Amino acid sequence: MLVMSDLAKTFAKAKLSGLPPETPLYEDDCEREDDSSSASSLSSAGTVRPTSSQRSAPVLNWSDYFAQELYLERQSDKGHAKFHVYLTPPSTPKAPLLVLHHGAGSSGLSFSLFALEIRKLLPNAGVLAVEARDHGSVVWGPGGEVDNDLSIHTLSQDMVDMLHLTRARMSWTEMPTLVLIGHSLGGAVVTDAAKKGMLEDKLIGYAVLDVVEGSAMDALKSMQAYLASRPSGFPTLDAAIDWHIRSRTLRNPRSARASVPSLLVQTPSGSWTWKTDLSSTEAYWKNWFEGMSSKFLSAKGAKLLLLAGTDRLDKELMIGQMQGKFQLLVFPAAGHFLQEDLPDKIAEVVAEFVKRNDRSILVLPPKVGDLLKQGKKV
């Protein structure tokens, strides 16, 4: 027996040594050329230019998906903000504008492929993908210190401000009709803005992608463990894209190439680390999702909830859904980032939602009272 086991051990050792070494989290002797600007840059994907040796899977540029990117400044007694958004303006003043808000740790480019797909279905509609503070936008307090207040109230106000700043920059005489679409934390942000009536009668509806208060609250406990299990950095952008695909965080390589580079910043050593330190945002997690179901159900406007995987509504949403208060669609084949995994399908659903609720084209059958007044037989 002893001999056998020794043999087995030797065999196992031999086998192990054959495996490739584990990928180091940081690779100091990164072959990447030194690019001192990107470490400190606000790092839209546009500033990221990988060398040819890393282009096995080419990183895609924002300009493939949006007409322009804007930096919008906000000056107030509370400080200074430099917001970053991607925009494809509506083609006509009557066309709706879809305002897209990403989730925590993500970026406006998470909607890259969706933005392309939706324009195929709604060629006149505009698309505005905003980026939250600490996610591409930067806000400084009065003392010049970076203000990373990520409370839900602040985030929804930032989003609405970005919308108004965009309108001013583009010199639109009137705000277009609006549809808010938020993924994950972004879903909580658009729900908060809708509930507070911040966009008044310009808002025709809002869509929430893959977040439900009940299951988000349940998942809080395991969140830090999940974050700890992610690599803290990557030697190259390709490695980062690879990780997102291999871990099935993202299931669409094309989308991963468009969005992942924007999630990372380069360290002085040349490797890449997360732009947003998610675990440090823990103080806000409860604040983001608490009361979200009730806000979602009671805000004015058409409501669309898109879930990935399974239907996991909490009690409040379950009652609301079975009373017919909102539209629910489940995409069993998608992961959490469903707008990245299934951009064409999500665009299809959103286009239907927009068309259905667009008051300018909506015609309902007449009321009985009106028919009677007209002397018609009913």
| DSSP letter assigned to residue 133 | B
Catalytic pick from 184, 259, 262, 271? 184
Q: Is 311 exposed, middle or buried (0-12, 13-18, 19+ CB in 10 A)?
A: middle
DSSP labels, 304-366: EEEEESS----HHHHHHHHTT-SEEEEETT--S-HHHHSHHHHHHHHHHHHHHH-TTT---PP
184 labelled catalytic: yes
User: What are the residues facing 99 on neighbouring strands?
Assistant: 128, 180
Stretch that binds other proteins, among 40-48, 122-130, 162-170, 296-304 (CB under 8 A): 296-304
Range 235-274, binding other proteins (CB under 8 A): 249
Residue 378 to residue 371: CA distance in whole angstroms: 7
Q: Does 365 bind other proteins (CB under 8 A)?
A: yes
Stretch that binds other proteins, among 32-40, 140-148, 159-167, 365-373 (CB under 8 A): 365-373
Q: Does 324 bind other proteins (CB under 8 A)?
A: yes
Q: Does 312 bind other proteins (CB under 8 A)?
A: yes
Range 100-129, binding other proteins (CB under 8 A): 103-105
Query: Strand 97-101 to strand 126-131: parallel, antiparallel, or no bridges (unpaired)?
Result: parallel
Burial pattern 57-82, b for ≥16 Cβ within 10 A else e, equals bebbbbeebbeebbebebeeeebebe
Residue 45 to residue 23: CA distance in whole angstroms: 24
- Closest to other proteins by CB, 137 vs 236, is 137
Q: Does 311 bind other proteins (CB under 8 A)?
A: yes
The residue whose two tokens read 């009671």 is 298
Candidate list 35, 149, 344, 352; residue touching other proteins; CB under 8 A? 352
Catalytic pick from 101, 183, 244, 336? 336
Stretch that binds other proteins, among 133-141, 231-239, 257-265, 316-324 (CB under 8 A): 316-324
Find out whether 305 and 328 touch, Cβ atoms under 8 Å: yes
Least separation in angstroms between CB 302 and other proteins: 6
Residue 29 to residue 237: CA distance in whole angstroms: 15
For other proteins (CB under 8 A), the number of binding residues is 52
Where on the chain is the footprint of other proteins (CB under 8 A)?
103-105, 184-185, 210-211, 215-216, 218-219, 222-223, 226, 249, 278, 281, 285, 302-304, 309-312, 315, 318-319, 322-327, 329-330, 332, 336, 352-353, 356-357, 362, 364-370, 372, 378
- The catalytic residue positions are 184, 210, 336
